């Protein structure tokens, strides 16, 4: 499942050539890297693209297949008191729903982007759409 999530951090550069290859092309500050700062729950995700104008990333989300649970009466401090089990299809869908709800509820506008970097990005995006006749996002 694909979804949009807000970004946080500080962008320090945009490289149009790199963006043409990976749909990202953004460099983050070493002390405040660009990141998805949202706990999406029992899912894993892969970055697809970044939209600097919207200050968000498009990600591919996959629900967990196996989860670890505390045994009844178990001590959460002891690893031997946990057990693993397969996740049902209904639980997988629930994980995806929770991830979407958390992404939707996450604060927006946390990414620091200078107007110079944003203009570079907008120019690249406009040029890409004009030259190739297709939208990037």
Query: pLDDT tens, 2-33?
Result: 999 999 999 999 998 888 888 888 899 999 99
Identify any residues that bridge with 85 across adjacent strands, giving them in sequence order: 67
Strand residues in the chain grouped as ranges (E): 2-6, 8-14, 26-28, 43-51, 56-63, 66-70, 82-86, 110-112
The answer to whether 27 and 52 are in contact (CB under 8 A) is: no
Percent residues over pLDDT 90 in the chain: 77
DSSP conformation class of 70? E
What's the mean pLDDT when you consider all of the chain? 90
Q: What is the pTM of this model?
A: 0.81
């Amino acid at each position: 499942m694909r979804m949009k999530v807000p970004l946080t951090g500080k962008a320090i550069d945009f490289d149009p050539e790199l963006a043409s290859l990976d749909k990202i092309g953004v460099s983050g500050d070493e002390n405040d890297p660009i990141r998805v700062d949202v706990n999406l729950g029992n899912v894993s995700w892969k970055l697809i693209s970044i939209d600097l104008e919207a200050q968000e990333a498009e990600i591919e989300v996959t629900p967990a297949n196996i989860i670890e649970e505390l045994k009844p009466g178990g001590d959460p401090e002891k690893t031997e008191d946990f057990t693993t089990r397969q996740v049902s299809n209904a639980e997988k869908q629930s994980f995806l729903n929770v991830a979407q709800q958390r992404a939707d509820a996450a604060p927006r506008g946390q990414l620091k982007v200078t107007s110079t970097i944003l203009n570079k990005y907008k120019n690249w995006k406009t040029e890409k759409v004009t030259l190739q006749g297709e939208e990037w996002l």
